[in-house]
Amino acid sequence: MGFRVLFCFSLVLLASCTTVRYESYPKATHAVASWYGPDFHGRPTSSGEIFNMYALTCAHRDYPFGTKLTVTNVSNNKSVNCIVNDRGPFVSERDLDLSYGAAKEIGLIGPGTGKVRIEYAGRDTQYVREVKYIQGSKGPFALQVGSFKELSNAARLKMALELKYSKVYITEAEIDGSRYYRVRIGKFPAKDEASRFAKTLANEGYSVLITSYDEMI
């Protein structure tokens, strides 16, 4: 009897000291998908990757970069596995932008848009970035998320960030005779505050640099 009581007590103690973790994944959802291709082929995506219209990728407003999705065209039941590496769509009443290659796999090129089922299939954590700092930066601080020679590329990243964040702006700088357009977020009085926000962006998959806030914007 004494052994049984001790054994039961041990089980209770073990149960109370053990934390069980469950991973929750987004449920499958239905959405409206469109596609994009030649106009953006060879241009940088919001994640920093160069867009390849033939690769199996997609743009989503919320999923972190590197999210793997199985997308099924409900009209013909054709499916494709693609990875989120960009932000969009920027057109209302659309939820997902497929690359030309992904859209072709499920027969979406002709119709242009269509109803799809989206299933979460994990994430490639290689898209998680490390926050970088410019040595000697003094407050207030800003977060730089991209730097481009073409204003159109900077404007597109700004628009992508504004799907979720506020106080996004573009600054101009001339370096060795070349003009650069830098996409930045916020004005943070303290470095710790800037660092916390930077980590959120880096975990989402953005390349982030903490630098001094430029008053000339």
207 and 146 in contact (C-beta within 8 Å)? yes
Beta bridge partners of 115: 32
Classify domain 132-212 at the CATH topology level. Alpha-Beta Plaits (3.30.70)
Domain boundaries, the chain: 29-127, 132-212
- Encoding tokens for residue 66? 């590197």
CATH 2.40.50.140 fits 29-127, yes or no: no
pLDDT digits (tens, 9 = 90+) for 85-103: 999 999 989 999 999 999 9
pLDDT digits (tens, 9 = 90+) for 17-71: 333 333 456 788 999 999 999 999 999 999 999 999 999 999 999 999 999 999 9
Q: What is the DSSP string of 91-137?
A: STT--EEEEHHHHHHTT-TTTS-EEEEEEEEEE-GGG----EE-TT-
